[in-house]
């Protein structure tokens, strides 16, 4: 009997992922502007899904207010860029500041449980929206733009935003993967399943949940900053809209709650649905709601959860596997 993490499927997955990342890095050199822009949107969706899944899927911190971090990430980028900081440096620095803010929020938010935490996050997002509206730079709901990006030529700017989104997605996925392979990652999943039982065996629930809360805050703020760079315009009601969290929930529910691969798969499905059906207007939103309901009823583990259960395939070496070896005669 041997215990291992890596399987031939996971080794193949990492090899293909490395090749895909290399190919994507070269896309701006030969693809059209529309393709670059759409891929940038896809990268942002993957970040959003992975960060919400980190909180809810692995930590049991179900939130309907993650637009708080998304909106503040964009707002902080606007503020720092207005102070004279390079816009791309402002995106990373702003996300770091929001990570610090999320640590402060965790001091009292993590004492809330279940529905209280979910509603509390939504309330914080609404308060942040109102506060941002009071900033003279933002001009209320009129909003403003990331003007400092105009210092770059349009072609160069699009290429830099594409690479920033790709690096952000790969970096955050790698960071989440590394955290999930640590004892803290295992502890977080134990807390999600039964916090009292985890506490009884020496796990520190508050410290472990805080780690994932701050990680999700940082990653979602990065996504908000990247979205701002992509569209340039900042209107508080758009960035602090609950629709962003609704999109995150949809992607994770469809792909597979609590599964690393599920968040990525869900983002791909949502991206495809948006690309093909967004022009149908209200029917598109009705379709998303109906699809989320059907998946919740028929495939509660999501599409990847169903695939993994039926096939036993594991692409990400997060847990341990026991392999029985037949003794040789």
DSSP 78-147: HHHHHTT--HHHHHHHHHHHHHHHHHHHHHHHTTS-HHHHHHHHHHHHHHHHHHHHT-TTTTGGG-EE-G
Q: Minimal CA–CA distance to 258: which of 58, 47, 51?
A: 58
**250 is a domain residue:** no
User: Bridge-partner residues for 156, per DSSP?
Assistant: none
**210 is a domain residue:** yes
**164 is a domain residue:** yes
pLDDT for the residue 130: 94
Count structural domains, the chain.
1
pLDDT for the residue 102: 95
* 139 contacts 78 by C-beta, under 8 angstroms: no
pLDDT for the residue 58: 82
Give tens-digit pLDDT for 288-309: 888 888 888 888 888 888 888 8
Task: Tell me: pLDDT of 61 over 80.
Answer: yes
**283 is a domain residue:** no
**328 is a domain residue:** no
Task: Tell me: pLDDT of 323 over 70.
Answer: no
- Which structural domain, as residue segments, surrounds residue 134? 24-241
Going by pLDDT thresholds of 50, 70 and 90, the confidence category of residue 131 is very high
**80 is a domain residue:** yes
How many helices (H) does the chain have, and how many strands (E)?
14, 4
pLDDT for the residue 2: 62
Sign of CA dihedral 189, 195, 199, 200: negative
**92 is a domain residue:** yes
Mean pLDDT of 106-130: 91
Residue scoring higher pLDDT (192 or 104): 104
Q: Return d(Cα 327, Cα 329) in angstroms, integer.
A: 6
Whole-model pTM over 0.75: yes
**301 is a domain residue:** no
Task: Tell me: pLDDT of 127 over 80.
Answer: yes
């Amino acid at each position: 009997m041997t215990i291992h993490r890596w399987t031939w499927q996971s080794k193949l997955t990492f090899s293909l992922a490395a090749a895909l990342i290399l190919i994507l890095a070269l896309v701006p050199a030969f693809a059209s502007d529309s393709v670059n822009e759409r891929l940038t949107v896809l990268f942002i969706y993957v970040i959003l899904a992975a960060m919400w899944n980190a909180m809810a899927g692995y930590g049991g911190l179900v939130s309907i207010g993650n637009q708080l971090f998304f909106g503040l990430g964009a707002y902080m980028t606007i503020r720092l860029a207005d102070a004279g900081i390079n816009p791309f440096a402002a995106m990373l620095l702003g996300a770091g500041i929001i990570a610090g803010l999320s640590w402060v929020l965790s001091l009292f938010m993590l004492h809330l449980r279940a529905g209280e935490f979910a509603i509390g996050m939504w309330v914080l997002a609404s308060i942040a929206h109102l506060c941002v509206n009071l900033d003279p730079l933002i001009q209320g709901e009129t909003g403003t733009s990331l003007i400092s990006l105009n210092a770059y030529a349009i072609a160069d700017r699009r290429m830099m935003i594409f690479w920033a989104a790709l690096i952000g997605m790969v970096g955050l996925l790698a960071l989440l993967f590394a955290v999930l392979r640590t004892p803290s990652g295992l502890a977080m999943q134990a807390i999600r399943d039964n916090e009292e039982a985890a506490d009884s065996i020496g796990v520190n629930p508050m410290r472990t949940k805080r780690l994932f809360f701050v990680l999700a805050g940082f990653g979602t703020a990065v996504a908000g900053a990247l979205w701002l760079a992509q569209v340039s315009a900042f209107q508080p009601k758009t960035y602090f809209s609950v629709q962003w969290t609704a999109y995150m929930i949809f992607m994770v529910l469809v792909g597979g709650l609590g599964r690393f691969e599920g968040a990525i798969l869900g983002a791909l499905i949502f991206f495809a649905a948006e690309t093909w059906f967004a022009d149908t207007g209200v029917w598109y939103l009705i379709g998303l709601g109906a699809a989320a309901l059907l998946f919740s009823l028929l495939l509660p583990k999501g599409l990847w959860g169903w695939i993994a259960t039926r096939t036993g395939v594991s692409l990400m070496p997060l847990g341990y596997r026991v392999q029985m070896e037949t003794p040789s005669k």
